[in-house]
Each structure stands twice: as structure tokens, then as C-alpha cells.
Amino acid sequence: MVQEIEIEFKNLLTKNEFELLMKEFNVTPKDFISQENYYFDTVNFSLRDKHSALRIRKKQDKYILTLKQPHEQGLLETHQELTEAQAFSLLNSEVTKMVDGTVKEAIATLGITPDELYYLGALKTDRIEIIDNDNILVLDHSFYLEHEDYELEYEVKDPVTGKEKFLKILKQNNIPLRTTKNKIQRFFELKGKKED
């Protein structure tokens, strides 16, 4: 079983701010790698109501199923590698038969029947990760539901020094701190608005 605690700070950016940070960190569009996230929940959004999220991430022909759950220090992520056939089965079947393994077991501990989950939609991200000592600075350009946005993420080991460095990066580049929801929350909010 692969589990990790994710501690990250994030800030939505304007297109101009995103381009400014690309120059600041000396990256070009060809440095970005594309990945796709495919999101799942129940009809009644049981995972969302428990502040949790389930996705398959496709990155360079690998498929990783990840359950994100709240944790006192950030998010607890439970990962499970899928074959292409398993991923296609979850994405293309009318009735989801959740793949056996650690993620299915973790979903069940939330009091949610794994086979009640269904595929909701996809979010594509062009991403660059920049190693900064023990931390990772991430620039994301995401596309979902006919919408696009730009984001800075800072994945850290230590929440105190990590936050200080994150705020310093924003301040040095005259970027205001914005309350930023994670991608799946933004995806669900926009999906909800489109369905109203």
C-alpha cells in the first residue's frame, strides 16, 4: 500500500502572473508535461461530503488511482497503480466495479460503497515541477468543462517553513494571496453550475 501525507499551499494566478513566474523560474511551454485527472463520486456526492476525492491520474501512459482524505497535517493520499484495462473499465462502464485493492478498502472505511461510484468528468493539466530543496514548486495550467485556470502549488515537507517560502514567492512577484480551492473542488463547483 502506498500512502503519503500531502502538505501543499496553492494560489490561483492570472495568465500574466503565470507567465511572470515562468520567466522567474526559467521555464518554457515545452518544459510542461500533460496529465489527465478523471474524477469519481457517488450520485449524492458522498466522497465530497466527507471532504474526500477519488481520481485516476494518467501521466505518461501510467494510471494511478488516488483517494484523498483529510488529515491533521494536510491530505492523506492512498495510491494504487492500475493497468490500462482497469482504468478503461472504470471510465467506460455504466456500472462501476471498483478495482480490488487498498483504495477500495479505504473508500469502504469511509462508509461508502465503492461500487456506487461513477465517473464524473476529466481535467487536463499542463504541469511543470521545480525541485526546491525538499520542496516542489508546481506551475499548473488546467482545462476542464470549457474553462481554464492557472495555479501555483508548493508541496512541502515542513508546513511552517514551507508557508513562509510560499508567501515570499508571492510577495517577491507582487502576486496577491488568494483563497484557492483544490482542483477537484473547482471542478465540482463548475460542474454544479453547468447542471443548474
Cα distances (angstroms) measured from residue 160 to each of 63, 166, 195 = 33, 10, 40
- The 10s digit of each residue's pLDDT in 64-75 is 999 999 888 778
Question: Looking at residue 34, which CATH number applies to its domain?
Answer: 2.40.320.10
Which of 21 and 43 is assigned the larger pLDDT?
21
How many domains, the chain? 1
What confidence tier does 94 reach under pLDDT thresholds 50, 70, 90? Answer: low
Contact partners, residue 7, CB within 8 Å, separation at least 6 = 73, 74, 155, 156, 157, 158, 159, 162
Please spell the DSSP secondary structure of 58-94, one letter per residue.
EETTEEEEEEEEEETTEEEEEEEEE-HHHHHHHHH-S
Whether residue 129 has pLDDT greater than 70: yes
Q: What is the spatial distance between Cα 96 and Cα 90, in angstroms, rounded to a whole number?
A: 6
Say which DSSP state 116 is in: G
**pTM of this prediction exceeds 0.75:** yes
- Angle made by CA atoms 149, 155, 161, in degrees to the nearest 5: 125
Residue 163's closest CA among 4, 9, 1, 6? Answer: 9
Average pLDDT for the chain: 92
Whether residue 95 has pLDDT greater than 80: no
- The 10s digit of each residue's pLDDT in 136-149 is 999 999 999 999 99
Joined together, the cell numbers standing for residue 66 give 488516488
Q: Which domain holds residue 165?
A: 2-195
Collapsing DSSP states into helix, strand and coil, what is residue 19? Answer: helix
Q: What is the mean pLDDT of residues 102-111?
A: 93
